[in-house]
Amino acid sequence: MKYKIALTALIICLIALGGAGCLDSGEREGLTIEGSSTVLPVTDAAAEAFEDKYGISVSLSGGGSSHGITSVAEERIDLGMASRLVSQDEIDRYGDNFEKHVIGYDGVAIVVSEEIYNEGVQDLTVDEVRDIYSGEIQNWEEVGGPDREILTVSREEGSGTGSVFYSSIEIDRADASLDQVSDGNAMVKQSVANSDKAIGFLGLGYVGDGAESVAIDGVEPTSDNILAGEYPIDRSLQYYSWGPVDGEAEKFIEFILSEEGQEIVENEGYIPLQ
């Protein structure tokens, strides 16, 4: 996966003009998108196709949903990627000028280390997940697994995936019993896959390769189950803009909502709008 920074035009300008007068203060070159690591792979693939089709450069980076929301509210970027909704605290802080652009849907999968999965932990209840993350259950034997201490892995504070997860299991993150905190879905996946006793949570597009998803209350985290409203931990994926979009941002939104863009959403392991 590549995250491209649009620097070519700026470099040419600096060479031609000796570094002076290329861009006015605060002026951005191309389209700038930052935020959720869940929405990042979809946006990366869409940005590549968008650049090829329209010749408009896209500067793209992660940082988490809170970073994307804050950055767009402070008008430092064009679009903020988010795997959660804007909170009331954020509206109170910045004002109610957020515009939401839903691009697809996702579930938050509960994943365990491959060895734990193979030894019988393939279905957990919401109550069991809550008890694991609150510290009441500390050994896999208590939920049908081997006699082994549980290693709880979490996303960093400010993560949209984490916000949805903790809200769904009805526990405050500050009260959770966390053994390891990892930045981004990819790092959580690596932490779970490299362990023989871990549990974590991921966006659907990151599941597998040693971080195996389990059913929750007997329901697998599949696209069909999420669309049917049967899987208990789901969410929308969106971009936020500060006010209505126009220009290049509007063109990008139109592209990702098009048939071609929605195919990209599906190909990246997420659920398209239709």
pLDDT value at position 29?
67
Q: Is residue 1 part of a domain?
A: no
Verify that 75 and 52 share a domain, yes or no.
yes
Verify that 248 and 220 share a domain, yes or no.
no
The pLDDT-based confidence of 150 (bands split at 50, 70, 90) is very high
Local structure of 86: helix, strand or coil: coil
* Interatomic CA distance for residues 66 and 83, integer angstroms: 9
Question: DSSP class of residue 224?
Answer: H
Local structure of 218: helix, strand or coil: coil
Share of the chain above pLDDT 90, in %: 86
| Average pLDDT of the segment spanning 32-59 | 97
Q: Is residue 3 part of a domain?
A: no
- pLDDT digit string (tens) for 208-265? 999 999 999 999 999 899 989 999 999 999 999 999 999 999 999 999 999 999 999 9
| Average pLDDT of the segment spanning 132-137 | 98
Local structure of 144: helix, strand or coil: coil
Q: Is residue 194 part of a domain?
A: yes
Verify that 16 and 74 share a domain, yes or no.
yes
* pLDDT of 4 strictly over 60: no
pLDDT value at position 15?
39
* pLDDT of 142 strictly over 60: yes
pLDDT value at position 12?
36
Verify that 189 and 84 share a domain, yes or no.
no
* pLDDT of 28 strictly over 70: no
Q: How far is CA 86 from the centre of its chain?
A: 14
Verify that 30 and 64 share a domain, yes or no.
yes
Q: Is residue 273 part of a domain?
A: no
Local structure of 89: helix, strand or coil: helix
pLDDT value at position 3?
43
* Interatomic CA distance for residues 18 and 185, integer angstroms: 42
Verify that 24 and 53 share a domain, yes or no.
yes
- Domain of 187, CATH number, reads 3.40.190.10
Verify that 162 and 141 share a domain, yes or no.
yes
| Average pLDDT of the segment spanning 40-52 | 97
Instruction: State the residue range of the domain holding 184.
Output: 107-227
The pLDDT-based confidence of 17 (bands split at 50, 70, 90) is very low
The pLDDT-based confidence of 22 (bands split at 50, 70, 90) is very low
pLDDT value at position 6?
40
Q: Which two tokens stand for residue 64?
A: 């988490």
Q: Cβ(140)–Cβ(197) under 8 Å?
A: yes
What kind and span of H or E run contains 55?
none
Query: How many domains are there within the chain?
Result: 2
Q: Which two tokens stand for residue 76?
A: 């430092």
Nearest to 236 by CA among 117, 86, 130: 86
Verify that 145 and 59 share a domain, yes or no.
no
Q: Is residue 274 part of a domain?
A: no
- pLDDT digit string (tens) for 153-190? 999 998 999 999 999 999 999 999 999 999 999 999 99
* pLDDT of 10 strictly over 80: no
The pLDDT-based confidence of 205 (bands split at 50, 70, 90) is confident
